Amino acid sequence: MRRAPPSTTVFLDRDGVINKRPDVGKYVTSARQFHFIPGSVDAIRLLNEAGARVIVVTNQRGVALGVMTMDQLQEVHDKMLAVLRAAGARLDAVYCCPHAKDSCDCRKPGIGLFLQAKAQFPDIVFKESYVVGDSERDMEAGRRLGARLVRIGPATAPDEASAPSLIEAVTEHVQALRPKSAN
């Protein structure tokens, strides 16, 4: 498999894309509540093999609401990273917004998390990047960046590609990550 250009970045939402989304009003507050969606580990490994930079950008308002601490959130992310590592996959970074609604610029659909990523990885080119998410907040953040949009679930706008799961999104769209051959 050929490697993608270094500026190809895939931004993934967490809940509902990588792991099972908790019920409305509930939060993943411990590592034991974090369950990968089938195929998501393989999808991330495929992105790695294609040479893409893979970054998680996730709203985690449960911290602001006091239903979990930053330490508990870190334990969840540590489990996610350990399972990925054991499967030969990796994330290049995880950015999270622990703030309440309307209190910051990093909470999606704001683009603050993406700008943090750009500060750490200056070669990110948003118009060559993908934003993969399952909510309108994710898609709106991607639109503000000029990124390519992939919605997990049915597309709700003409600028969105869609797939029922991350593994299907990657297998459908990973071709776009590979450089064209010189033939």
The residues annotated with a catalytic role in the active site are 13, 15
Cα–Cα distance between 177 and 9 in angstroms, integer?
Answer: 9
Cα–Cα distance between 151 and 136 in angstroms, integer?
Answer: 9
Cα–Cα distance between 114 and 167 in angstroms, integer?
Answer: 23
Q: What are 71's two structure tokens?
A: 């330490």
Cα–Cα distance between 104 and 111 in angstroms, integer?
Answer: 10
CA dihedral 132, 133, 138, 142 (to 10 degrees): 10
